[in-house]
Structure 1
Amino acid sequence: MIRPLDKRNFAALAATLAVGTLVACGEPNISQEKASPYVDQWSKSVEGTLREMAVAPAGKKNFQERLQKAAAQAESKLQRDEPPYDVLVNRVYQGIDYQFALVERTGLTDRGQAVWKTLEAVEDHALDADDYTLAEIGSGLESLEKANARFEKLETFETSDAEKDAAIAWLTQQPVSTFELTDDNHAKLTQTVLDSDSGQRMKERLANYETVSTEIAALEAKVEHLLMQNLARYARQMKHFRIHEIFVHPKNFDRWTNPNIEGRRPDKAEATWHARVAWRTAAKMTRDIAEKKEAEILHKLIEQDLEKALTGDVNTALASLKPAQPQYAGLQKEYVRYKEIAEAGGWEKVPVTRGLRPGREHEVVAKLKKRLQVEGFYPADAAIDNKYDDKLEKAVEAYQETHQMQVTGKPHHMFWASVNIPAKRRMEQIALNMQRWRESDIRHDDPMYVYVNIPDFHAEVWKEQERKLRFRIVVGNNDLAPKEKREAARKNKDESFKKHPNRTPTLSAYIDRVIYNPYWNVTERIRDEEILPEVRASVEAGYKAKIKRLLGVPTKKPSEQAGEEKSEEATLTGTVGTTPSAEAQQEQATEMVGADAIAKLREQSGAVEAAPAKPTRSAESFWSKNGDGRLVFDVAALRQLVGGGAPDAGSADTAGEAAPSSLAAKFPYIDPATGQVNVNSTNPDAIPGWYEANNYEVMFPGKKWEYVRMKQGDDNALGKVKVIFPNLHDVYLHDTPHKALFSRDIRAFSHGCMRMHEPLTFAEYLLEQDGKLDEYNVRRILSEGTYEPIFLDKQIPVHIDYVTVRVDDQGRANFLADIYDYDKFKEEG
């Protein structure tokens, strides 16, 4: 009902409330017919508005003082590994003028509820709740609720007719376009009346409310502060505890494909190569800056996430703090499940019993059923008896399948070793791997990336947040480095030494090329540890045989001996299939039939020179073994044998002289100073035949950039294709001619690189996504066997991680082999 104004007071009220509003020509004011019902509705809100006005100023002042004091304390005791949370919180609230966002007089806002719900669940993410002040926040919320209950019991405020008249008078002075008659403007109208001469009663009531609102203001400030402080800690532990890797190889160039290095094979993608030089140089500069400013960058990232939680979509902001890869969410659910199992007492140990088989009965079977039932493998409603039935067989199969075991349905050695691991340890394993996911460099919102999990022995391709490919791989073995290298590293305190050099490293990089019909460029370590010992042994065997020949010691029939000599000569010179010179043939004949036979031939032909005297010492006396088991040749005796005597001036056996001695010509790999065979550097005129015989070749022998590579072909260790992502560890994905290993459950057999079960499918998928598959005839390239590097226009991130628990497509935790012994737990007791 429209209530008319008192005509005698109308002019005075209008003059009192007028604020100098100018009415646009022709624009009407708010009519009394619309103002009166609006004021009636407004009057019902005045009580609440006054209460809020009483609390808000005090709360804001209290809050600002509290945050500034906390920030000052945080700055005075900065810790290296702990961000100054209160400094970051103060900065964020300073940006919004210290307005409350999470707390209001009656409790938490919707935004605050979202933050509180997230913090209450920190233990579900395997974070230590003791790091958080959750109990203090809960206590503060309870105190705030009680204080508000007392506040609500204060005498209510009823709006008088005079105050309503004042409101109507003011409204009817306002143009329609300047004040909208909505609930949102109730507080504005209250403030207008409060500031007028008619607002004296309101001012008195507001002062009364302010007197009793001090406690509420303090509680609001405390809860808001603690919520945001804890959210900052949560952001740090979930996401911002370190700077994620920049995925670019820190080297300025890739030495195997540099088109300008002297003597290197040219790379036809020269422009692409030079572009990568600039790209990697820029990345190195960026990373250097990031490392110097790591703390500053991390603090800024935390601050940005706090701002999003306060002013943006709070649910999106909170969700962004968790790893987005589906594996994390799956592990988190399984962690909660195993935590509940562990807190309920876990499962009892089952006595190891050999010979359990389907169809048999045994008292241990009931215990095994109960054990598997607790973990969810044996049906909850199935009978717990002593018969090994089909349900138990399926439960054992499921257990074996989710623990990287041979699936037989019958308990075997690995099964018994696993099934009695306590539930608490399984919970800890999941927690450890959740942390690994928080540390991972994977950005799940990347358009495409490749994910390799070492203990899973699988690689996956993810595109647009969906898994497109999953295939088996073989990873690096866990063998120890040679004993002498371990001892040398320990003696020299070499911290960079790798005790297990073949372990596949964890890293993030970018795939930048696919190479068909690759060579295997042997790494210096592998050449040093595996190839050179075999080459040395082969040369040593050849030298032993040559010494016997020079001594005229026949060991086989002439025909067999001739064949052997040819093979040995190939071992020494690598010249199988070539025709030796006449001089070489004479020398070879001498070595083949012996000195005595040549002497008789010379006598029969009337030769005037005397035959050399037959050596009186045995062949075996020309070599021995030192304390390290290395073969050592008697250099002085060898010089006499080959007719060189002591090294002459100008002999290559003496330092700084160029002319080769007979010893250097006959035994080029014997070090005259030590008597040992040294094949570390290859003589281009006497390449050991071992390389040719084993499908290797020495590139640029004798040069400073000498290296060994395995030739292309069916026996090449890299198979038909390799996928390169430049990195400091020189590892990559590649094909292999040895497919049998892919049938094994545990596949750790390589030198560190990853062998792929379906390499051609993977390579073609990469080319297809890059738009290059139609440009290259892969079938022709493979059939012709030509070396073909194909550089991608868009490099693809690849992440190699070490995660020993994963969830399968059914959401069940799969416990994988800790092949490198990276899972470390404190033993109880």
Structure 2
Amino acid sequence: MKKWLLLFLIVPIAFIACNRKKIHKVERDITITPKNAVTRLELDSMQMERYISGQQLGDSAAQYLRNFYNSRNFQFAWVGEKGLTEQARVFYTLNKDYVTDFQDSSLLDSGLYQKMELLMKQDTIFKKADSSLANLDLQLTRHFFNYVANAYAGKVDPEVIQWHIPRKKLNATLLLDSLMANKNTKIDDWEPVNQQYKLLKKELLRYYTFQKSGEWEKISLGKQKRYQQGDTGLTVSMVRQRFIALGDTLLSDTLPEFDLALKTAVKQAQQQFGYRATGNIDASLIKELNVPVQQRIEKLLINLERMRWMPAMPAGRRILVNIPDYQLHVFEDKEITLSMGIVVGKAANKTVIFSNKLRNIVFSPYWNVPASIVKAEVLPAMKRNRNYLSSKNMEQTGTSNGLPQVRQKPGDNNSLGRVKFLFPNSYDIYFHDTPAKSLFAEEKRAFSHGCIRLSQPVKLAEYLLEDQKQWTPAQITKAMKSTKEIWVGMKKPVPVFITYFTAWIDRHGRLNFRDDIYGHDQKMAEQMFLSSVKGLTKAPAIAQLKSK
């Protein structure tokens, strides 16, 4: 090997340390020998210790390295006799694509890229391992651990938006082992990300192509408040052109008229933005079509980051709520079997993002009025009207901290309606019925004190109790008209995930966007992007993710 190449390879590279956690020691695997190893190049344990000392690695980061190389009997992982292994080339491409796709400069190491590119270009045979090659192999392993921690686990602390769903658990060493074990690794199958993440990433790349063509031309609604089928004009023409640019292949750009095909496209777009599908071009649709491409890209990046946090979904039945979509979905494995509209907490009483298991259904429930509501609403009303409690079917059950303890008895006017669904948590959040049915006609439904109101609670109760034959629809109806609480335990608790996504791909393969009703996108933008301002960023260039 040429001396200048050796000197180049020996230049040290600094890496970000892996997340600190307790790492158990892995014994040396002596079954791996030069005869059955992928490469005959071996790492000297003292070379590894010198590297650890020179890089000043923390205990857990050092143990990651020791365990990995112990498990390979100190065989090289990335460099073979003929240069970089196939796995190293795969990782090289994977890392570069990630940096490009997510504009994440923290994982861009030009020096490392140059070393790898030199080895890929050089027609060199390595007969033995020297310190420069050993350092390169160690550096690549460290970089891989860093890559996994950022690209698949996420860079932003979920606590920024009070996200209390347990984060996805990743074992970087096992991921590295699986990459090393398969020479023909299919990266799409190997990457520890869910299908929703993969689909949303494709949309991100598509929006980059839009950005290259320049920002959208602003569409004006003009003097009309709305346009409907049969209308013509500049606004109609521009909306048609925008849909074609976004990929609607069913529209023709030669027709100036608002025809049936355009009406169908308008309905579809309204659904994708969370509006009622009227089929008319109105101010709400124009507002969404005028959102700059840059802001859409940032929203996609923010939601991809959240998707990195999501744990693997359990098999079987589960309930998923998406707060900005005002929707609840029941899944059976990958299929949605029941959906309904919901009302969530208003901005001042945000619904908490967390997960738990639904364990009980309570028919004809009491509503134990929270102390905050007693203090702010009930107590002042009691002072104005001594008959207030009886007029609201309420009763005082005691006192606590100088405040009356109040509950509302079962009945048609009970604030929880006729049924509630409990998944015990410290946030006092649950699903429930409501007498205020008119709120479900609203497009934006953030009205509650934090709990989640259901538009079809009876359907959910029937669905969840279908494995308990005594709970027929007639029996459920009877229980909902009782004057006393009736508790029913679930035979098998159902996982519940209350999430917050403002961009995702629906079951029809269409990209959806929703408003950031709690300002969580903005908080994450301040962590992720260099030039964050209110309303995400105004920077015309693609935002760069902050380095840790």
TM-score normalized by structure 2? 0.77
- The one-letter code of the counterpart of 2:148 is A
Task: For residues 685-744 of structure 1, give each alpha carbon's deviation from its aligned partner in whole angstroms, at most 9, with x where no partner exists.
Answer: xxx321001211112368989521111112212122100112222111011122222232
Task: For residues 588-632 of structure 1, give each alpha carbon's deviation from its aligned partner in whole angstroms, at most 9, with x where no partner exists.
Answer: xxxxxxxxxxxxxxxxxxxxxxxxxxxxxxxxxxxxxxxxxxxxx
Aligned pairs for 1:435-446 (under 5 A) are 435-440=305-310, 442-446=311-315
Distance, in Å, in 2 between the alignment partners of 1:410 and 1:800 is 33
Secondary structure of the equivalent of 1:392? helix
| Counterpart for residue 142 of structure 1 | 117
| Counterpart for residue 399 of structure 1 | 269
Secondary structure of the equivalent of 2:74? coil
2:487 equivalent to 1:789: yes
2:446 equivalent to 1:736: no
- The one-letter code of the counterpart of 2:446 is A
| Contact 1:240–1:301, Cα closer than 8 Å, also in 2 | no
**1:384 Cα offset (Å):** 4.7
Distance, in Å, in 2 between the alignment partners of 1:472 and 1:337 is 30
| Counterpart for residue 470 of structure 2 | 774
**1:244 Cα offset (Å):** 9.2
Which of the two has higher C-alpha Rg? Answer: 1
| Contact 2:84–2:120, Cα closer than 8 Å, also in 1 | no
Distance, in Å, in 1 between the alignment partners of 2:100 and 2:438 is 42
Higher strand share: 2
Secondary structure of the equivalent of 1:707? strand
- The one-letter code of the counterpart of 1:68 is E
Distance, in Å, in 2 between the alignment partners of 1:122 and 1:782 is 53
Aligned pairs for 1:291-690 (under 5 A) are 301-311=171-181, 322-324=192-194, 326-355=195-224, 356-377=227-248, 379=249, 382-384=252-254, 386-440=256-310, 442-478=311-347, 500=348, 502-538=349-385, 688-690=386-388
Relative distance call for 1:462 and 1:224 in structure 2 (3 A) is: farther
Distance, in Å, in 1 between the alignment partners of 2:157 and 2:287 is 39
Distance, in Å, in 1 between the alignment partners of 2:186 and 2:420 is 40
Which of 64, 84, 107 lines up with 1:88 in the alignment?
A: 64
| Contact 1:86–1:229, Cα closer than 8 Å, also in 2 | no
**1:455 Cα offset (Å):** 0.4
| Contact 2:315–2:333, Cα closer than 8 Å, also in 1 | yes
Aligned pairs for 1:41-52 (under 5 A) are none
Distance, in Å, in 1 between the alignment partners of 2:202 and 2:260 is 29
Which of 49, 60, 65 lines up with 2:42 in the alignment?
A: 60
- Identity fraction in percent: 26
Secondary structure of the equivalent of 2:512? strand
| Contact 2:43–2:75, Cα closer than 8 Å, also in 1 | no
| Contact 1:458–1:473, Cα closer than 8 Å, also in 2 | yes
- The one-letter code of the counterpart of 1:718 is L
Aligned pairs for 1:26-37 (under 5 A) are none
**1:452 Cα offset (Å):** 0.9
Distance, in Å, in 2 between the alignment partners of 1:706 and 1:446 is 45
Distance, in Å, in 2 between the alignment partners of 1:150 and 1:99 is 19
- Structure 1 range deviating more: 234-243 or 427-436: 234-243
**1:360 Cα offset (Å):** 3.5
Aligned length: 484
Which of 147, 167, 173 lines up with 1:234 in the alignment?
A: 147
| Counterpart for residue 822 of structure 1 | 520
- The one-letter code of the counterpart of 2:65 is V
Distance, in Å, in 2 between the alignment partners of 1:515 and 1:742 is 22
| Contact 1:396–1:411, Cα closer than 8 Å, also in 2 | yes
TM-score normalized by structure 1? 0.52
2:440 equivalent to 1:756: no
**1:338 Cα offset (Å):** 1.3
Secondary structure of the equivalent of 1:700? strand
| Contact 2:155–2:305, Cα closer than 8 Å, also in 1 | no
Distance, in Å, in 1 between the alignment partners of 2:154 and 2:251 is 45
**1:755 Cα offset (Å):** 0.7
Distance, in Å, in 2 between the alignment partners of 1:104 and 1:313 is 13
**1:321 Cα offset (Å):** 5.4
Relative distance call for 1:75 and 1:220 in structure 2 (3 A) is: closer
Distance, in Å, in 1 between the alignment partners of 2:299 and 2:72 is 43
| Contact 2:344–2:447, Cα closer than 8 Å, also in 1 | yes
Relative distance call for 1:137 and 1:435 in structure 2 (3 A) is: same
Distance, in Å, in 2 between the alignment partners of 1:762 and 1:70 is 59
Structure 1 segments unaligned to the other structure (5+ residues): 1-50, 152-208, 251-286, 479-499, 539-687
- The one-letter code of the counterpart of 2:72 is I
**1:428 Cα offset (Å):** 0.8
| Counterpart for residue 128 of structure 1 | 104
* CA-atom RMSD in angstroms: 3.8
Task: For residues 514-571 of structure 1, give each alpha carbon's deviation from its aligned partner in whole angstroms, at most 9, with x where no partner exists.
Answer: 1011111111111111211211222xxxxxxxxxxxxxxxxxxxxxxxxxxxxxxxxx
Task: For residues 54-107 of structure 1, give each alpha carbon's deviation from its aligned partner in whole angstroms, at most 9, with x where no partner exists.
Answer: x966x4247x5654333224445x5xxxx9756523431132122123442334
Distance, in Å, in 1 between the alignment partners of 2:469 and 2:50 is 63
| Contact 2:240–2:251, Cα closer than 8 Å, also in 1 | no
Secondary structure of the equivalent of 2:218? coil
**1:759 Cα offset (Å):** 1.1
- The one-letter code of the counterpart of 2:384 is A
| Contact 1:444–1:465, Cα closer than 8 Å, also in 2 | no
| Contact 1:716–1:737, Cα closer than 8 Å, also in 2 | yes
Which of 94, 113, 117 lines up with 1:118 in the alignment?
A: 94
Structure 2 segments unaligned to the other structure (5+ residues): 1-33, 526-531, 540-548
Relative distance call for 1:234 and 1:773 in structure 2 (3 A) is: farther
Relative distance call for 1:339 and 1:232 in structure 2 (3 A) is: same
Which of 41, 52, 66 lines up with 1:71 in the alignment?
A: 52
Relative distance call for 1:797 and 1:119 in structure 2 (3 A) is: same
